[in-house]
Chains A and B, each alone.
Chain A
Amino acid sequence: MTKDGKMIFPLNEGLYTLPSLPDEKTQLIGSKCTNCGELFFPKKDKGLCIHCQQITLEEVKLSRQGKIASFTIVLQPPSGGFYHGPVPYAYGYVDLPEGVRIETQFTGDFNTLEIGGDVELVIEKLYEDAEGNEFVTYKFKPLKD
Chain B
Amino acid sequence: MRPLNEMREVTIGGIGITKWGFYENAEWYDFGSEAILAALKDAEMEWKDVQAAFCGSVYQGTGSGHQAIKEIGLTGIPIINVENACSSCASAFRLAYQMVAAEIYDIVLAVGMEKMPRGPIPSTAFRPWELKLGFNVQPANYANIAVQYMKNTGATMEDFSLVTIKNRRHGTLNPNARFQKPVTLEEVMNSRLVAIPLRLLHCCPLADGAAAFILCSKDKLKSKHKVITVAASTLTSGVYGEGYPPADLIPSLKYPPAMTLSELSAKQAYEVAGCGPADIDVVQAYDTMAPAELWDLEELGFCKPGEAPHLLREGVFDLNGKIPVNTDGGLMSRGHPLGATAGGQIYEIVLQLRGQAGLRQVKDAKVGLAHAMGAGPNSAVTILKR
User: Which A residues have a C-beta under 8 Å from some C-beta of B?
Assistant: 11-12, 15, 36-39, 42, 50-51, 69-85, 89, 91-93, 95, 99-103, 105, 115, 126, 137
Contact = CB atoms under 8 A, between A and B. Distances in A.
A26 to B, nearest CB: 16
Query: Which of B134, B193, B240: most chain A CB closer than 10 A?
Result: B134
A111 B353 CA distance: 50
B133 A95 contact: no
B243 A115 contact: no
Interface string B119-130: 011110000111
B144 A70 contact: yes
Contacts, number: 112
Given A73-B195, A73-B196, A101-B243, A78 B254 contact: no
Interface string B243-275: 100000011111100000000000000000000
A51 B196 contact: no
Interface in B180-228: 192-198
Given A78-B137, A80-B131, A72 B251 contact: no
Contacts of A71: 144, 147
22 contacts: A12-B129, A38-B252, A50-B240, A70-B147, A71-B147, A72-B144, A72-B147, A72-B196, A73-B195, A74-B194, A75-B193, A75-B196, A78-B131, A83-B131, A83-B134, A85-B134, A91-B134, A92-B144, A92-B147, A105-B133, A126-B132, A137-B133
Contacts of B255: 36, 38, 51
A130 B92 CA distance: 48
Contacts of A83: 131-134
A126 to B, nearest CB: 8
B335 to A, nearest CB: 18
A12 B193 contact: no
B148 A82 contact: no
A72 B144 CA distance: 6
A51 B134 contact: no
A42 B129 contact: yes
A78 B194 contact: no
B130 A79 contact: no
Interface of B: 120-123, 128-137, 140, 143-145, 147-148, 151, 192-198, 240-241, 243, 250-255
Given A76-B194, A80-B120, A101 B131 contact: no
Nearest to B148: A70
B138 to A, nearest CB: 9
B148 A115 contact: yes
Given A70-B144, A101-B243, A80 B136 contact: yes
A123 to B, nearest CB: 13
A108 B196 CA distance: 17
Nearest to B129: A12
B120 A81 contact: yes
Closest 8 CB pairs of A and B: A79-B120, A72-B143, A82-B131, A12-B129, A83-B134, A73-B196, A70-B144, A99-B253
A51 B140 contact: no
Nearest to A69: B148
B151 A115 contact: yes
Contact of B253 (A12, A50, A101): A101
Given A36-B254, A69-B148, A80-B120, 11 more contacts: A38-B255, A51-B240, A51-B252, A70-B148, A72-B140, A72-B195, A75-B196, A80-B136, A92-B144, A93-B250, A103-B250
Nearest to B255: A51
A91 B196 contact: no
A11 B252 contact: no
A93 B145 CA distance: 10
A89 to B, nearest CB: 6
B293 to A, nearest CB: 19
A31 to B, nearest CB: 13
Question: By CB atoms of chain B within 10 A, which of A36, A72, A74, A137 has the most?
Answer: A72
A50 to B, nearest CB: 8
Given A51-B240, A91-B135, A75 B194 contact: yes
A126 B132 CA distance: 10
A126 B129 CA distance: 13
